Amino acid sequence: MASDVETESERLWVPVAVGIGLVAVLVAESVAIGAGTYVPANGHVSGVVTALPFIGILLYGSYRVEKGSLDHDRYLRISRWSLGGAAVFLLINIGVMATRPLGGGLPLLVSWTRWAVSIGGGTGFLVGVFEARAIERQLDAERSRIRQEELRSERDRLEEFADIVSHDLRNPLNAASGHLELARDADPEAVEDHLDRVESALGRMHRILEDTLTLAREGKTAGDTTTVDIGTLTTECWGRVDGIDAELVVEEAGTIRADPDRLSHVFENLLANAVEHGGRDVTVRVGPLGDGDAVGFYVEDDGDGIPERERDRVFEKGYSADDGTGFGLAIVERIVDAHGWSVRVTEGAAGGARFEITGVEPAETAPTAGPAAVEG
């Protein structure tokens, strides 16, 4: 159950306490003067008159700030400014008093100290409030900028999704509709062929929708990162790839810092791309890049590879060398970018495609024993 009592962080105790203390000194001086036991120093009245506005700033200003919209996290800095201003101004005046004789004795010392604390504390309070409001404005502007970027990113993803759905789904939808219409008027022997074509078109539409949704969900930054074992994750992803006669070889890849869910999409798409383009008996290798502390990892196959003139286009949305959706590698690039990494495609050791991902943050890990082979 939440308490209704305000915590210390929700109150400006320091400036209020300084203000109340100064008022108490003024009251004590007035009582002593009225009783005739205290003779005020020269300039007493002018000192009180100039100090009262700053005492009012400390007390009424604290009240207004607490009733306002200023974040409570700023209260500590305001209190420090107030206390620091009082201390600094008092020290300056102590230095001045030390250079001249105090002809007024104790009354002058009290009056001068009260005046210095009032001026310094009130001025420090005002500086603290101005700084706090400046910080709030800066934070509001930053939050607004981030929100605008998020809205633009969401709008771009929606436009991207709409473009893909309206453009890329039209062909398989028209094909399915056309063969369905033909199947109604076709001979019984030909109906099965038309229905197979309808099924193929619907399957392609399903793949396009799945890949488009994945692409639309990928933001510009990764989520919570944790320690991920590349070998373990790669093996898990390999189990979800349809590669009956294919082989996966995972070298001593170590561990990295990454969002495991989104990194799974990277490996699934790269492995599926290798099987799709390299053949069902392809061998896929996954291993580390760099010397000593790993700076990245690679995924390569021994298939036909990607022609050099096409390598700059493979990450474009909709690009495909055959009847694939063309979004798999675009998803890979987007997730890699979200982690702050880089990806490039080159030629593998056996002439196939090799994808190198660099800029990866390594994690401390115990070494694993040798490369492991996994049959498809």
Say yes or no to pLDDT of 369 above 50. Answer: no
- Whole-number Å distance between alpha carbons of 182 and 185: 5
Instruction: Provide the pLDDT for residue 5.
Output: 35
Q: How confident is the model at residue 87 (pLDDT cuts 50, 70, 90)?
A: very high
Say yes or no to pLDDT of 201 above 60. Answer: yes
For the residues 112-116, what does the mean pLDDT come to? 89
Q: How confident is the model at residue 1 (pLDDT cuts 50, 70, 90)?
A: very low
Say yes or no to pLDDT of 251 above 70. Answer: yes
Which has more pLDDT, 276 or 10? 276
Say yes or no to pLDDT of 323 above 70. Answer: no
Which has more pLDDT, 330 or 19? 19
Please, what is the average pLDDT of the chain? 79
Say yes or no to pLDDT of 214 above 60. Answer: yes
Instruction: Provide the pLDDT for residue 60.
Output: 92
Q: How confident is the model at residue 294 (pLDDT cuts 50, 70, 90)?
A: very low
pTM of the model: 0.49
Q: Lowest-confidence range among 148-157, 164-173, 199-208, 271-280?
A: 164-173
Say yes or no to pLDDT of 86 above 60. Answer: yes
Q: How confident is the model at residue 170 (pLDDT cuts 50, 70, 90)?
A: low
CATH class of 226-375: alpha beta
Instruction: Provide the pLDDT for residue 4.
Output: 39
Instruction: Provide the pLDDT for residue 242.
Output: 66
Q: pLDDT over 90 for what percent of the chain?
A: 21
Q: Lowest-confidence range among 47-61, 129-143, 160-174?
A: 160-174
Q: Map out the domains of the chain as residue ranges.
A: 8-146, 226-375
Residues comprising the chain, all counted: 376
Q: pLDDT over 70 for what percent of the chain?
A: 80
The pLDDT tens digits of the residues spanning 127-162 come to 999 999 999 999 999 999 988 988 887 787 777 666
